Amino acid sequence: MDKRTRQRHLQNKKKFCGLRSVSELCLLLKTDKRKLELLANQPPYKTFTVPKKDGGERLIEAPGGPLKKVQGLLNRYLQSAYFLEKSTAAYGFVVGVRNDEDRRNVLTNAKKHLGKTYLLNIDLQDFFHSVTRDQVLDILLKPPFNFKRRLPDLLADLLTYNGRLPMGAPTSPVLSNFACRELDRRLSAMAEDLLWTYTRYADDMSFSGNRPFDEEKVNSVLRLIREEGFTPNPRKIKRFGPKDEKVVTGLLLTDKVQLEKGYLDQLQQDIQQLADTLRAQNEQGQLATRWVEQFKQQVRGRLSFAGFVLGRRHERYQQLKDAFYTASNPPQEEFGAVSWRGFPYNF
């Protein structure tokens, strides 16, 4: 990691962890004390649900503009603090740094398990919602923060909603990593004793080794997870043996890390579906609908993931990228009649 980046994180950590009062916090965030206390006491959130990939719905709690701005600023300092003392097991929600030999992301997470004969994957249920306000308060009272008096309570109110981490706040990911420090420490110690490799990408936990994961050891892992206040998802406990295709956070492990089989073909089908849908929508005179925009964002995210794994210069990725651009930007002369309902009237 370059010295300038490390210095920036050190400065951010020092500024934030050195706060001793609410007034100092207001100066750091360049905001009024009454405004900050109002956001803490009456946090503006919009709640809605989105479908999960495996069925069911996920509750999203999105903070309103002013609160989201404050949380965005807090996230910068929290990320710097976590980056400088991150768990050896944590690979998700960790800031990326150019030229860092220990980069943490979904790709490097999967690479840690290459060449292992056996693999165990465990997912956690309601990950963010499992972290309570009391836990966040405890995080703020302990190192590296050591906040005192009214400050930790105010921050806990700004960072939680309905007594827990909200799924949708920019600060929830890094706070979930702080909340998992003891879990990561205990599981890493167990893994070291048993000659396993353990990593955690958000709520996806992976263990690998060259001996089978017997029932007793798996139960020990599950018991430890519960002791730390998290709940394993019984439907997503998966064991892989020598002859099984091994998958870690959606990536296939062979002699290298690659996309799962069929990923690119499915992505191509999704891009074609997007193209057909937008063409039909334009012919009907509709300029935008919410679900189509959501679908477009999903396809864009999956395309970006493919580019990250394959490399931006990969021929197939370039083809899919061009197809997505064409699908998202149909020629103007092909538009049908335009309905007045399609125009945004919030001037």
Q: Is the pLDDT of residue 336 over 90?
A: no
Assign 281 a pLDDT band (cuts: 50, 70, 90). confident
Average pLDDT over residues 123-142: 96
Assign 288 a pLDDT band (cuts: 50, 70, 90). low
Assign 135 a pLDDT band (cuts: 50, 70, 90). very high
Q: Is the pLDDT of residue 71 over 70?
A: yes
Task: Examine residue 344 and say whether the peptide bond preceding it is cis (omega within 30 degrees of 0).
Answer: no
Provide the CA 318 distance to its chain's centre, in angstroms. 26
- pLDDT score of 345: 36
Q: Tens of pLDDT along 251-277?
A: 999 999 999 989 999 999 999 998 888
Assign 335 a pLDDT band (cuts: 50, 70, 90). very low
Asked if 45 and 62 count as a contact pair (C-beta separation under 8 A), the reply is yes
Asked if 78 and 171 count as a contact pair (C-beta separation under 8 A), the reply is yes
Average pLDDT over residues 207-221: 96
Q: Is the pLDDT of residue 8 over 60?
A: yes
DSSP structure string for 175-227: HHHHHTHHHHHHHHHHHHHTT-EEEEETTEEEEEESS---HHHHHHHHHHHHH
Q: Is the pLDDT of residue 15 over 60?
A: yes
CA–CA distance from 53 to each of 50, 56, 57 (Å)?
A: 10, 8, 9
Q: Tens of pLDDT along 78-115?
A: 999 999 999 999 999 998 776 677 889 999 999 999 99
- pLDDT score of 286: 56
Q: Which run of H or of E encompasses 79?
A: helix 65-83
Average pLDDT over residues 115-140: 97
- pLDDT score of 343: 35
Assign 1 a pLDDT band (cuts: 50, 70, 90). low
Residue 59 carries which side chain, given as an amino acid letter? L
- pLDDT score of 339: 36
Residue in 123, 133, 126 with CA at minimum distance from that of residue 167: 126
